[in-house]
Amino acid sequence: MRPLAGSYLPEFFHEDHSLPKPSWSKDMRLLFDQFMKKCEDGSWIHLPSYNYTLFQRSQDISAFIHAYLPTASKLINEEKLLQAKIFTRNFEDGLGFEYVMFYNDVEKRVVCVFEGGPYLQGMPGCLHGGAIATMIDATVGTSAMIAEGIVMTANLNINFKRPVPLCSVVLINSQLDKIEGRKLFISCNVQSVDEKTLYTEATSLFIKLDPEKQV
C-alpha cells in the first residue's frame, strides 16, 4: 500500500477535517471512537481528510492535469484552480458533510461514518439524494484510489431504498470486489448505525487513468 498522508505534506494540508469536532453528534463520536479502537491492532487505518487535493500546489496541479487530462486541460482556467477546494469539505462545521473514513487492507473495505447536516436537505427532513451519491462516490473513490492510484468514476449505479433522515448518522460500507486490467468494481451500501435499516445500495466502476490516452 502507498504511504498515507503524513508530516511531509505542505502546511495547508495540516488541518485534518476527519477528527472529532464540537458539532459532531453523540452517535458520530461514538462510532469514531469504536473505529479508532479497531485501529489499535493495525487491522483498520484512520484516513485523514483535507480541504485540498494532493496536487494542490499550482505547479503540481497543472502538471497533473496536463499529464492525465490533456483534453480537459484546454478548457480549465488555471488561475481559478488556485481557489479550488474539495467539494465535501467546504461547509461550516456541522452544516454539510461531516464524515470520517477507515480502511481495512485485508478485507479491502473502506467504511465511512457520515452525518449529513441541515444544508444537505432534499425532501423535507431528508437528505438530498445527490448528497448521498456524493458520499458514496467519495467512499468508493477512496477505495479505488488506495488500490490503484489515479482513477475516475466511470459508472455509479444507485438504488435509493429508504429516505435517510437529515442529521442522522449512517455507515457507508464499501467493498472492492474485483480489478480487471484498468477497471475496478466496487460495491457499497448505506445503513443505519444499528444496521437495521438499509437505506441505499450501489455498484461502481472506476477506471485507472492512462496518461498515454487523451482523456
Q: Which of 97, 112, 141, 166 binds ligand LBKI3ST6 (CB under 6 A)?
A: 141
Q: How many CB atoms lie within 10 A of CB 107?
A: 12
Q: How far apart (Å, rounded) are the C-alpha atoms in residues 27 and 175?
A: 23
Which residues are part of the catalytic machinery?
137
Judged by DSSP in three states, 13 sits in helix
Give least dist CB 184 to ligand LBKI3ST6, A. Answer: 10
Q: Which of 113, 137, 170, 202 binds ligand LBKI3ST6 (CB under 6 A)?
A: 137
Q: Which of 67, 95, 154, 198 binds ligand LBKI3ST6 (CB under 6 A)?
A: 154
Q: How far is CA 147 from the centre of its chain?
A: 14
CB closer to ligand LBKI3ST6, 152 vs 198: 152
Quick one: cell of 3? 504511504
HSE (CB half, 13 Å, CA atoms) of 202?
A: 31
- Could you give the angle at the alpha carbon of 118 between the alpha carbons of 84 and 134, nearest 5°? 45
Q: For residue 90, state whether it binds ligand LBKI3ST6 (rule: CB under 6 A).
A: no
Q: How far apart (Å, rounded) are the C-alpha atoms in residues 144 and 138?
A: 10
Q: Which of 18, 142, 168, 204 binds ligand LBKI3ST6 (CB under 6 A)?
A: 142
Where along the sequence are the contacts to ligand LBKI3ST6 (CB under 6 A)?
2, 4, 47, 137-138, 141-142, 145-146, 152-155, 182-183, 205, 207, 209-210, 213, 215
